[in-house]
Amino acid sequence: MTGVSIVGAGLSAFGRQPGVSGREMAVQAIRSALVDAGLEWSDVQIAFGGSDGSGLADTLVAELGLTGIPFTNVKNGCATGGSALVSAVNAIRSGSAEIALAVGFDKHGRGAFAPLPEEWGLPVGYGEAGLMVTTQFFGIKIARYMREHGITAPTLAKVAEKAYANGTLNPNAWRRTPMSADEIASADMVNDPLTRFMFCSPGEGGAAIIVASEAVATRLGGRPVSLLSAVTRTRGFGTFEVFAPAIQGAGAPTSVSTVAAAAAFDAAGVRPDEIDVLQLQDTESGAEIMHMAECGFCEHGEQEQLLEKGATLIDGSMPVNTDGGCIANGEPIGASGLRQVHEIVTQLRGEAGDRQVPGTPRLGFTHVYGAPGISACTVLAV
Partner 1 sequence: MSTTEPAPRLHGSRCDSCGNVAFPVADGCQRCGQQVMQPIELSEHGTVWGFTVQRFAPKSPPYVPPADGFAPFAVGYVELAEGVKVEAVLDCADFAELEGQAPVRLTAAAPVPRFEVVA
| Chain contacts with partner 1 (rule: CB under 8 A) | 111-112, 114, 116-117, 123-133, 136, 139-141, 143-144, 147, 188-194, 237-238, 244-250
Residue 298, judged by CB atoms within 10 A of its CB (0-12, 13-18, 19+), counts as middle
Closest to partner 1 by CB, 123 vs 171, is 123
Cα 131 to the center of its chain, rounded Å = 26
Least gap, CB of 381 to partner 1 (angstroms)? 37
Start-to-end CA distance of the chain, whole Å, equals 13
Nearer to partner 1, 122 or 165 (CB): 122
Min CB(133)–partner 1 separation in Å: 5
Q: Closest CB to partner 1 among 139 and 337? A: 139
How far apart are CB 114 and partner 1 at their closest, in Å? 5
To the nearest 10 degrees (0 to 180), the angle between helices 153-168 and 134-149 is 120
Smallest Cα–Cα separation from 265: which of 236, 285, 294?
A: 294
283 phi and psi, to 5 degrees? -55, -40
Nearest distance from residue 345's CB to partner 1, in Å? 37
Q: Read out DSSP for 95-152?
A: TS-SEEEEEEEEE--SSS----GGGGT--THHHHTT---HHHHHHHHHHHHHHHHT--
Q: Of 243 and 265, which CB lies nearer to partner 1 in the complex structure?
A: 243
* Least distance CB 184 / partner 1 (angstroms): 16
Contact 378, 229 (CB under 8 A): yes
Minimum CB distance to partner 1 smaller for 19 or for 121: 121
